[in-house]
Structure 1
């Protein structure tokens, strides 16, 4: 019976381990497929923008992003191979263990067969029962013969079941080995592609050095344009803060007048911050709380996406600049959607494209580089509602996306879903 218990525990362990590994492998495959979609998107954009005679910053950022994604994909393939190696090792050990258990079961069964052969006729069984010292012993010997027969049948079933388990694990093991072979082939192909892209990157960097002056001028022009856009955004937010402040002060003044008229003490006004002004109304407070509770879970503002420039400081050649949001490459004519419900703070056209800013309590989301817009100032919008269509310039269809709390810039990657 101890042997049977060990077999059951071994089988249970096999099932649990197989499910856990399968879940991990499925997650790795999903991540790999998502990365490949980004790589394909970047490659399509590079194919479209490479027709221009002059190398652009967008092309450089796209090839850099593509190389980073390809390295991530190779890393995932390495993890998949490691997972399969673990599965192969465990399945091999399980086959050896099951074969050992099968040998023990067969030995036990052979012993029972030999015993049955020695007591095969009814006369010998009857003599064994009649040789009992008393009635109780005779009864026990009868029960023994009955249980022995049942146990022998069970042993035969366990032997057959163990053989089937071994056959199944050998099939799984063979499948694992084929999967590993396919993954190693895929890994080698990706390394070859990565090498070609690094060569292309080196050629671009060499071209940058020859166009250094032009790139510095392009970055300086970008800084001037972005500074003007930032001033417009900050001015609009500051006006919202001032309106909220005046409204709060007026409410406090009316409350004080009412208290004096009723002979009650005048309420002491609490010191307020910009955030407290912006969340003074129950509706604004609810929006702020909802936005904050969805940190890391906000939907992407476009359907297909690849981040080609991240939040923070950047260096291109000898030029330095700061990106207060993220630049998202998407598809031509992609719809730009609100990442959370709120109100349109403003819609403005600057340098031939539109900017849309939404207010979510004391949080703001900004969507730059729209070709057309479908909302207007003061409109209420829902999560995933279309705001407009992304514009496509020399760098391709790139959306610049920002998140702010009051006047503070936040890293959008910390807020949108992974």
Structure 2
């Protein structure tokens, strides 16, 4: 089978595109599998937390939150598994096309090879080859004929090797195809189970919401009260941050006056700006450069409430503002610093559990709802250092509220921790 140059280059281009596409699909499949395993791990952690608190009576709000969480996580799992199955379908189709293409190539190669074998058999005797050489008109022609014989023999060997390689590749693709089909069947089965569990959760959720409607005003009032308490703590934290800024600015101004440098922007004290020392600037830069790499503030946990404004799980007409994340963890869990810094304040508000505010240059991290605190204001803390223990409520909930706050001359605000903490 002969190929013209344009056809040859077209085939090479097509082959390269197939390889690139296969690699991209494999990478995507790996990413999806990693995400699926993360979700399964999250579900497992959640089940462990639920199991450890089975004997403790939970509030209606907590039960609804738990069900909401279960529904969302299972929906994510189903979506990721569907994406995996769809991607596998595309990979299977690609492999089937490749197998069909290889079979056609193999058929042509075998036909060509068979024709060569027959031709070679008819003129295989040494005498025929010798006569072919001796019948040359001159030495140059004899040399060319000898080269032809050698090239023809080499070509036969190459064709045989190519048939062997194509056959092996075909076998590998067939094996891969069978495995992909098994993987797809497994994913489909897992999705069926996940959907069945999701339906159970949805029914339970609907029944619970229906029962809540009878006393909706009561639960709405509880949610509003809880939000007011959260807002009160956040206001106190923001006040303490402003104090820390003012104190840092005073120190910077005093240092500048001492050195005879009073006109720089960096030393100008203001409530909106933050005059950082050289060390604090380095710390802030390091904090920022590690965005997305921080360890979790607890060793094990799941995010029950994410950052931002969101509808209440009890009454969707109500909105809940979350300046951080609420992480459910095990009873007795230790609280760890996500990055080195200095304890700016240990906050104790009436009717609320203690919180710790840690300064990292112009960034602050906040750890709320602690039962024990192991540090005091001014302490230097290192990454992953234990600073306290998470409070466990009477209904068995162990929730750490965690926030990140950035001070900026233009726009000081809370940050979404999921963008800073690794795989949150």
Same fold (TM over 0.5): yes
**CA gap 1:399/1:179 in 2 versus in 1, 3 angstroms:** same
**CA gap 1:221/1:51 in 2 versus in 1, 3 angstroms:** farther
Q: Quick one: which of 286, 290, 299 aligns to 2:286?
A: 290
* Structure 1 gap segments, 5+ residues each: 257-265
Measured in 2, the distance between the counterparts of 1:321 and 1:148 equals: 81
User: Offset of 1:326 from its aligned partner?
Assistant: 1.3
Which region of structure 1 is more displaced relative to structure 2, 148-157 or 270-279? 270-279
CA shift digits 1:215-270 (9 cap, x unpaired): 133223323432442343233223222222322333344345xxxxxxxxx85354
Q: Quick one: which of 303, 307, 314 aligns to 2:303?
A: 307
Q: Quick one: which of 408, 413, 417 aligns to 2:418?
A: 413
2:368/2:401 contact within 8 Å kept? yes
1:132/1:138 contact within 8 Å kept? yes
Kindly tell me the number of residue pairs found equivalent between the two proteins: 408
Whether 2:128 is the aligned partner of 1:128: answer: no
What RMSD in Å do the two structures reach over aligned CA positions? 2.7
1:236/1:346 contact within 8 Å kept? yes
**CA gap 1:59/1:395 in 2 versus in 1, 3 angstroms:** farther
Aligned residue number for residue 117 of structure 2: 113
Measured in 2, the distance between the counterparts of 1:54 and 1:161 equals: 65
Aligned residue number for residue 326 of structure 2: 327
Matches within 5 A, 1:351-366: 351=351, 353-366=353-366
User: SS at 1:301's partner residue?
Assistant: coil
User: Offset of 1:342 from its aligned partner?
Assistant: 0.3
Whether 2:274 is the aligned partner of 1:277: answer: yes
Measured in 2, the distance between the counterparts of 1:54 and 1:120 equals: 91
Measured in 2, the distance between the counterparts of 1:331 and 1:30 equals: 24
**CA gap 1:183/1:392 in 2 versus in 1, 3 angstroms:** same
Measured in 2, the distance between the counterparts of 1:331 and 1:54 equals: 15
TM-score of the two chains, using structure 2 as the length reference: 0.87
Which region of structure 1 is more displaced relative to structure 2, 120-129 or 160-169? 120-129
* Structure 2 gap segments, 5+ residues each: none
2:338/2:383 contact within 8 Å kept? yes
2:253/2:262 contact within 8 Å kept? no
TM-score of the two chains, using structure 1 as the length reference: 0.88
Measured in 2, the distance between the counterparts of 1:207 and 1:391 equals: 30
User: SS at 2:166's partner residue?
Assistant: helix
Which region of structure 1 is more displaced relative to structure 2, 184-193 or 212-221? 212-221
User: SS at 1:268's partner residue?
Assistant: coil
Aligned residue number for residue 243 of structure 2: 239
Aligned residue number for residue 207 of structure 1: 211
Aligned residue number for residue 155 of structure 1: 159
2:56/2:396 contact within 8 Å kept? no
